[in-house]
Amino acid sequence: MANTLVFKPWFGVFAAFLLLFTASSLRAQNWQSLKMDALEARMSKGADTVYVVNFWATWCAPCVRELPHFDQLQKSYNGKPLKVLLVSVDAPARAKAALNGFLSRREVSSEVLHLNESKPHEFIDRVAPEWSGSIPATLIIHHKTSRRAFHEGEMSEAELQTLVKTIY
Amino acid sequence: MKNYFFSSAILLAGIVALSAFRPGSPAPHEGHGYDIGSVVQDVRLKNIDGNMVAFSDYRDAKGLIVIFTCNTCPYAVAYEQRIIDLDKKYSSAGYPVVAINPNDVKRQPNDSFEAMQQRAKERGFSFPYLHDETQEVAHAFGATRTPHVYLLKKGEDGKMRVAFIGAIDDNYDDASQVEERFLENAIGALEAGKSPEPAKVKAIGCTIKWRES
């Protein structure tokens, strides 16, 4: 019996590989939770950068359908000052389980944030005065030129690219 | 024949170009439809019991709580019990709830008339749950999401006017954590002979599933 508990060198190597694989697969799933103040600060970082900020939720089918378009957008602007932020508005009480579960099932390459606010009427106007409050919704903002665009509702990849070109 | 193909190709290109040019979106957004003080045209829609229900049927009401809602949106589902409670509390006070489902059944099959009937039965809706099949009513109101609330007040001239637009309260996720009851405060203001303040409160919700045109 005791024999099976003896440390074997190959096991250490195996464990190290396991750790490495877990760590690399977890890297894509990291997301940060923030308040509206912090999100505003984040969106105004780097005046050169065009921010494409999408508001979504894990359970929202049209939102989930358009997520790959944002990943594709980020890739097509590779090396250029454009930053996609995927801001989940999942209910704060369930966000951790919902986002961890979602991101372990789906490959999302863009940066994911969670808006930790429970009173939507307090953040909707701060995001965009023309936002009525439905998701998905997308804000494109460029502080350097003070140009911005806003779209409420699902977009195709072509629609998203066209909208971004009006700002970038 | 050649000509036919040529014109079809042009037509197709036109359709593709038009559909690619949609970021402006044909769907209504904030600022379209009824505003505070707007006179509301009478609405007549099919209820889940098969009968037609019109706003003008409510002869003795002081007003109406009109809520665009649906079976499928988690925000709408989160508010279901609160909507049932609102009807219990305010129906006898002269402000009954009228729920309207505006979602396109093709895009959201679980919002079909039969699914609405089933949902209302399961949850014991005490109020009409009307099917806005043509989406004309949602367009007229300028509703954009579910749930989206319009409090109407009947004037001395018998006309219904919009008194409040927006949110039921400030916490969709947890009814026990609600701090501000916007809709109830608005009804309180009307009962006190005042105008609701605020008259508009935004809420988060699901985009209404508009018909593909």
Q: Do A159 and B22 touch (CB under 8 A)?
A: yes
Supply the pLDDT for residue B164.
Answer: 98
Cβ neighbours for B169, distance < 8 A, ≥ 6 positions apart:
B82, B175, B178, B180, B181, B182, B183, B184
Nearest chain B residue to A163 by CA: give it: B23
Q: Do A89 and B177 touch (CB under 8 A)?
A: no
Residue A82 pLDDT class (50, 70, 90 cuts): very high
Residue A9 pLDDT class (50, 70, 90 cuts): low
Supply the pLDDT for residue A47.
Answer: 81
In percent, how much of chain A has pLDDT > 70? 83
Which of B173, B177, B207 is the closest to A152 by Cβ? B207
Please provide the average confidence, as pLDDT, over all residues in chain B. Answer: 89
Supply the pLDDT for residue B77.
Answer: 96
Query: Which of residues 70 through 109 in chain B touch A, CB cutoff 8 A?
Result: 74
The CA dihedral of B66, B67, B71, B72, to the nearest 10 degrees, is 150
CB B202 within 8 A of CB A131: yes
Coil, helix or strand at residue B22:
coil
Tokens 């890739």 correspond to what residue? A75
Q: What is the ipTM of this complex?
A: 0.81
Q: What is the pLDDT of residues B135-166, one digit of tens each?
A: 999 999 999 999 999 999 999 999 999 999 99
Q: What is the pLDDT of residues B10-43, one digit of tens each?
A: 444 444 443 333 333 344 455 589 999 999 999 9
Distance to chain B for A135, nearest Cα, Å: 6
Once rounded to an integer, what is the mean pLDDT over residues B55-78? Answer: 97
Q: What is the pLDDT of residues A149-164, one digit of tens each?
A: 999 999 999 999 999 9
Q: Higher model confidence: residue A168 or residue B188?
A: B188
Residue A2 in this model has a pLDDT that exceeds 50: no
**Which of A54, A114, A119, A161 is best to mutate for the B interface (most B CBs within 10 A)?**
A119
Residue A60 in this model has a pLDDT that exceeds 70: yes
Q: What is the pLDDT of residues A25-55, one digit of tens each?
A: 445 468 999 999 999 999 988 889 999 999 9
Residue (of B189, B196, B65, B197) closest to B127 by Cα position: B65
Interface contact B166, partner A, CB < 8 A: yes
Residue B193 in this model has a pLDDT that exceeds 60: yes
